[in-house]
Amino acid sequence: MRPDKLITIDPGAGEAIAIAGGAYLILLEGSQTKGACAIIDMVVPPDGGPPPHAHKDIQESFYVLDGEVVVRSETQTYTARKGAFINIPFGGAIHNFKNETGEEAHLLCIVSPAGMDDMFREIGKPLAPGTMPPPPSPPTPEMQAQMKQLADKYGQEFFPPDYFNK
């Protein structure tokens, strides 16, 4: 790819992946940015969102396009509504977000450097663009072992779902 070639994505285009009951659409992947960043469009269903996790070598930012999510870390809890911006800096802050409403939330996620796009491909399942997957089943011991392997591979650390309830 030429370095001066624009990348354009039509509405609804991109690679759709089902993750944790949500629909993630990879808009810009690491292979298109020489690993500098990736951009993922996320539709998060009610009660959806990742478990508490950390990634010390990745900066992750979210812009709430619609709906709301509750973002938790060890130092704060923030209800991010439409128009809100959240930045998780490098360093490994333990965090998560959860849609605690009865409506879908829509987020734009930017990660730097790229890599989460590849992890999402390995964790998730292909999804028809514009559709939502069925609610996820509780993870089996085999799924948990696979998640641990992928977490190690991509520099992620996962924590129990009740981590912030202590």
pLDDT confidence bin for 135, thresholds 50/70/90: confident
Print the domain residue range for 29: 15-127+138-165
Assigned domain for 10 exists: no
Least confidently predicted of 21-30, 42-51, 79-88, 135-144: 135-144
Least confidently predicted of 42-46, 69-73, 122-126: 122-126
Angle at 18 between CA 28 and CA 116, to 5 degrees: 40
Assigned domain for 85 exists: yes
Instruction: Between 138 and 31, name the one with better pLDDT.
Output: 31
pLDDT at residue 139 is higher than 90: no
Query: For the CA atoms of 58, 64, 65, 69, what is the dihedral angle to 10 degrees?
Result: 120
pLDDT confidence bin for 34, thresholds 50/70/90: very high
123 backbone dihedrals φ, ψ, rounded to 5°: -80, -40
pLDDT at residue 4 is higher than 80: no
pLDDT at residue 118 is higher than 90: yes
Neighbours of 159 (CB within 10 A): 14
Question: Under DSSP, is residue 83 helix (H, G, I), strand (E, B) or coil?
Answer: coil
pLDDT at residue 25 is higher than 90: yes
pLDDT confidence bin for 72, thresholds 50/70/90: very high
Assigned domain for 7 exists: no
Assigned domain for 87 exists: yes
Neighbours of 3 (CB within 10 A): 5
What CA–CA distance (Å, rounded) separates 66 from 133? 19
- What's the confidence (pLDDT) of residue 129? 86
pLDDT confidence bin for 143, thresholds 50/70/90: confident
pLDDT at residue 62 is higher than 60: yes
DSSP symbols for 28-61: E-GGGTTTS-EEEEEEE-TT--PPSEE-TT-EEE
Whose tokens are 């990348």? That residue is 7
Whose tokens are 């973002």? That residue is 71
What CA–CA distance (Å, rounded) separates 87 from 70? 14
Closest CA to 39 of 94, 127, 131, 120: 120
- What's the confidence (pLDDT) of residue 144? 82
Assigned domain for 133 exists: no
- What's the confidence (pLDDT) of residue 71? 98
Assigned domain for 5 exists: no
Overall number of domains in the chain: 1
As to burial, measured by CB atoms within 10 angstroms (0-12 exposed, 13-18 middle, 19+ buried), residue 24 is buried
Assigned domain for 1 exists: no
CATH number for the domain that contains residue 20: 2.60.120.10
Assigned domain for 67 exists: yes
- What's the confidence (pLDDT) of residue 3? 59
